Amino acid sequence: MSTRSVFQCDIFLLQEESLGEICFSLCYVPTISKLTVVILEAKNLKSMDIGGSSDPYVKVQLALDKRKWKKRTTSIKKKSLNPYFNESFTFDVSLDQIQRVNLVISVWDHDAMTRNDTMGKVFLGCDSTGNQLRHWADMLSNPRRPVAQWHSLLSAEQVNATLALKKTFPVPSKFKENKLLKKHFK
C-alpha cells in the first residue's frame, strides 16, 4: 500500500470516527477574578441510544495544577444530536490561578437506567495546544470580551491521558504519617 493510500485511509477513519463539535464562549475579567464559560451549542454528536439519538448534557470542569477543582453541568437535552444550550457558568479564578488552570468541556449522554456515557471532550488552558490554546490565548488577550469558537470533540481517553488529572479528595494527615502508606504520598 502506498503512503498516499495509507494517508487517505487515515483521513477516512478520522472522518468516520467524528464525535461531533461544540461551540462555547470564554470571558475572563481579571479585575474581579471571574471566568465565564457559556456553553452555546453542539452539532453532529454521535448517536448513543438505540433509537438513533442521544440525550446530551455538558460538564464544565476546571482543573488547577492537574487536580480537579470546580465542576458545573448544563441541563439535559432530550433526543438531540444538535442541542442548543446557551447556559452560562461563572467561576472565581484569580489572575495567578488562570495561568495554571485547565478547562475541560465534556459532552455526556444521559441514561436513565444505566451509567451515563461520555460522548467526547475538549480541554483548553495552560496545557492545551492548537485551536484550543489559540482560543484560551484569545480570551486572555481580550479581557472582559466573550470569545466564542467551535471545537471538535476528542475521545475521553485521549483528553484524560493528556491531562492525567489527580483525584480531588484530600488525604488526612494521620494517614500520611502511617509508615505503610507513606510511600504512596511522596
Structure-model confidence comparison of residues 73 and 165, the more confident one: 73
6 located within any domain: no
User: Nearest 5 degrees, angle CA 19-CA 120-CA 59?
Assistant: 140
The 3 state secondary structure assigned to the chain is CCHHHHHHHHHHHHHHCCCCEEEEEEEEECCCCEEEEEEEEEECCCCCCCCCCCCEEEEEEEEECCEEEEEEECCCCCCCCCCEEEEEEEEECCHHHHCCEEEEEEEEECCCCCCCEEEEEEEEECCCCHHHHHHHHHHHHCCCCCEEEEEECECHHHHHHHHCCECCCCCCHHHHCCHHHHHHHC
The x, y and z cell numbers of residue 2, run together, are: 502506498
For residue 186, pLDDT over 70 is answered with: no
134 located within any domain: yes
152 located within any domain: yes
55 located within any domain: yes
9 located within any domain: no
Amino acid identity, residue 47? S
11 located within any domain: no
Instruction: Indicate whether this model's pTM tops 0.85.
Output: no
For residue 63, pLDDT over 60 is answered with: yes
The x, y and z cell numbers of residue 36, run together, are: 465565564
Q: What is the pLDDT of residues 113-160, one digit of tens each?
A: 889 999 999 999 988 999 999 999 999 999 999 999 999 999 988 888
154 located within any domain: yes
Q: What is the CATH number of the domain that holds 118?
A: 2.60.40.150
Residue 69 structural domain: 17-166
Structure-model confidence comparison of residues 14 and 141, the more confident one: 141
61 located within any domain: yes
Task: Count structural domains, the chain.
Answer: 1
